[in-house]
Structure 1
Amino acid sequence: MQISLTYEELLCKYKNLNYIMIDVRSESEFSEYTIPGSINIPILSDKEREAVGYAYTKVSKEEAKILGIEYVSRKLPTIFKEILSLQDKYTNLIFFCARGGYRSSSITVLMQSIGINANKLIGGYKGYRNYINKNLNSLIEPIELVVLYGNTGTGKTKVLNELKKLGADVLDLEYCANHRGSVLGSVGLDKPNSQKMFESLIFDILYNRKSNLLFVEGESKTIGKSTIPDKLFDKIKNGIHVNITSSIEDRIDNIYEDYICGDDENIIKSLENLRNRMGNYWVDQKINLVKSKNYKDAIKDLILYYYDPLYQKNKKEYALTLENNNPSDTAKILYDYIKKDES
């Protein structure tokens, strides 16, 4: 039985099989970036990995191995229980670590020895990352994008979600970045994704698309901590541009729904970033509105005096303009328009 395979082999041979990828790196390594869809079962925790590394450099390779074995042996029963529960759900278990070395090799051999269908990813995350770097542009090359533009709060993300329900391919870049792309873009979310994770999620969506036509929201080159790859950004600039509009009342409601989640501290922190552009007096007023829970007044001022003037500087020509009174209806009109234009 083959117990090692490359990521390319995984895509070709396992695409339609019931498998799960298990990242055995430490929790911080996993948090920074991983292969989309993977789960984390650390062989060594951050502290244990640090101790083994210290032993390797300051004592000896043998002492580091002994220490690593001691750490792993203590948690093997727990790891084994987790893997047994996964075996009930998945036919194939694919293990990987940073480079396909000791961590993934040892657990794969051990699981194979007790009859579990375990496989190791050759090259680990690094091998996977090399594959992404080599093939992402070729995935982008044939696609055509319908790009949704519009002032902040017009409900573009809601329209994208409705397009998904209609069966359209959607590239949600804000999801990939884990950031909404505006001054309040991180409010209510975990930390923004790393560039590697951003590109991995883009690759995953493009690889699994049903057609070469995708819907995407118009974004600046940078979203949170992530930068849109050059080839994809060119596709966005040269796509079919659609303008989404909405009443100021609906925009206020949309922004309220997205950002007001009990995280006033993060909202205020985000507003602080506007002092250079908007001035201390204006920012202090908005902070006071947030502190007094007058969120919608603060949102209205952000729309009128920050978001909209900023957006006016980047006017574009549009193939279609739609007023978004109902995201489901807007998505249906847009979907039918694009499909008719295709035929």
Structure 2
Amino acid sequence: MSHFQPVRPADRHRFDAIIDARSPAEFAEDHIPGAINCPVLDNEERAIVGTIFVQQSAFEARRVGGAMVAANLARHLKEQFADKPENWKPLVYCWRGGLRSGSMVQWMRLVGWDAQQLAGGYKSFRREVIRQIEERVPQLDLRVILGATGSAKTRILQALEAQGAQVLDLEHYARHKGSLLGNLPGVAQPSQKHFETQIATVLERMDLSRPVYVEGESARIGRMSVPIPLINRMRHAQPIEIAATPEARLAYLLRDYDYLGNDVPLLCEKLGMLTEHLGKEVVGRWQNWAREHQLSPLFAELMALHYDPHYRRSQSRHFALWEKRRSVEVTSLDQASIERIAVQILDDEGKAR
């Protein structure tokens, strides 16, 4: 067993497992990718110990908390860690790299495992996430995929990735399609911290000498704020426009957003947010169509009156190289066509280089 020595976040990949000793609530907000949550205090226990610390004393909090920690560590040893071999090497962290992870590491090392503690805990990992974004994003050889709503940009990104291209799929990380109607049914968006963790994790393993493809996004994807360095880099990246026909886009939207007809009250509520901009008559008509499950005329007018005018206004203002964009003419957005579009983009990239 090696000497106990706190580990830096960049060295976390050397371990057999990463153990998050924080409470389930802390883990749910954000955690190191691949970490297993084995709390030494659960949510309720952590609150009890904190209250005792404030209302009574630090000693009493340690006494009561110590009993809870011992019980939880015993349970983890019987359950989560029961099948681990003698040469197992876990990395353990808590919030600041203090008592919670330290107590787990001490017990693991008494058992005989070469457990180590993450220096600075989750907070040091969080600093590493911010550093990765700030330092690596400006170095990206970025290609930004643009196109009016319904151009299947996310599906094209996925097809590019399947072809071996490097991709930042921000809408996937945000669990949101990025538009007014972009909430995914039954899927909650992550915390802002976890959104950024996912971005930094992908950036960490990217080859900076190769192009990276990303969808052109606004500064927010649902509740998520796209990191400012990434917004700035996107605004000066090479644009690739998916110039799909209105007919192709409408057909795609009817397939991709068909679930919206399953929650009519929510759809009507979302449409109502456009009343100030488009007026009661237009929005009222759309809400009636929603109640009648007539998504085709609804989506057609949403494109013509809301999404398309906004798209035309925003592109030249937000993307410095808009006038030098490469365009891909598209008349169909079925899966086979999407795969052909990805191949064409990569072929054009090869010719441009």
TM-score band, normalised by the shorter chain?
A: 0.7 to 0.9
Range with greater deviation from structure 2 (323-332 or 248-257): 248-257
Per-residue CA deviations over 1:117-155 (Å, capped at 9, x if unaligned) read 432211111111122333432212321111100001111
Q: CA deviation at 1:36?
A: 2.8
2:277: which partner in 1? 277
1:318 Cα deviation after fit: 4.3
The number of residues matched between the two structures is 336
Further displaced range: 209-218 or 264-273: 264-273
Structure 1 residues 301-310 or 263-272, which shifts more? 263-272
Q: Which residue of 2 aligns with 1:297?
A: 297
Matches within 5 A, 1:325-336: 325=332, 326-336=337-347
- Which of 136, 143, 166 matches 1:146? 143
Pair 1:107–1:143, CA change in 2 (3 A): same
Code of the residue aligned with 1:220 in structure 2: it is: S
1:319 aligns with 2:320: no
- The change in CA–CA distance for 1:268 and 1:74 in structure 2 (over 3 A counts) is farther
Contact 1:24 1:41 in 2 (8 A): yes
TM-score by length of 2: 0.85
Counterpart residue type for residue 119 of structure 1 = Q
TM-score after normalising by structure 1 = 0.88
- Give distance in 1, aligned partners of 2:16 and 2:247: 47
Residue by residue over 1:91-139, the C-alpha shift from the partner in whole angstroms, topping out at 9 and shown as x without a partner, is 5422211111122111122222223343221111111112233343221
The alpha carbon displacement at 1:299 in A equals 2.1
Q: Which residue of 2 aligns with 1:59?
A: 56
Provide the C-alpha distance between the structure 2 equivalents of 1:39 and 1:264, rounded to a whole number of angstroms.
39
Structure showing greater Rg: 2
Contact 1:242 1:318 in 2 (8 A): no
Counterpart of 1:185 in structure 2 is 182
Q: CA offsets, 1:150-181, max 9 Å, x none?
A: 00111111111011111111011212333222
- The answer to whether the 8 Å contact 1:188/1:259 transfers is no
**Cα RMSD, aligned residues only:** 2.5
The answer (yes or no) to whether the contact 2:15–2:90 under 8 Å persists in 1 is no
Using the TM superposition, give the Cα deviation of residue 2 of structure 1 relative to its aligned residue in structure 2, in angstroms: 4.4
Distance 1:238 1:183 in 2: 25
1:34 pairs with 6, 31, 56, which one? 31
Tell me the CA shift for residue 39 of structure 1.
3.2
Structure 1 residues 284 and 341: alpha-carbon distance in aligned structure 2, compared to 1, 3 A threshold: same
In structure 2, what is the equivalent of residue 9 of structure 1?
Answer: 11
Question: Structure 1 CA distance, aligned partners of 2:159 and 2:79?
Answer: 36
Q: Deviations over 1:180-233 (max 9, x none)?
A: 221012232633333322222221111111343200111112222333333322
1:65: how far off?
1.9
Deviation string, structure 1 residues 211-260 (Cα, Å, up to 9, x no partner): 43200111112222333333322221111111112233432343344434
Please say if residues 56 and 63 of structure 1, whose CA atoms lie closer than 8 Å, have aligned partners that are also in contact: yes
Q: In the superposition, relative to structure 1, how do residues 123 and 312 fare at CA in structure 2: closer, same or farther (>3 Å)?
A: same
Match of 1:72 among 54, 66, 69: 69
Q: 2:97 aligns with which of 85, 94, 100?
A: 100
Shift in CA distance, 107/18, structure 1 to aligned 2, threshold 3 Å: closer
Letter matched to residue 233 of structure 2? K
Distance in 2 (CA, whole Å) between partners of 1:260 and 1:31 is: 30
Overall identity of the aligned pairs, in %:
30
CA apart distance, 1:71: 2.9
Show the counterpart of 2:237: 239
CA distance in 2, matches of 1:293, 1:130: 48
CA–CA distance in structure 2, aligned partners of residues 66 and 282 of structure 1: 65
Among 218, 224, 227, the alignment partner of 1:226 is: 224
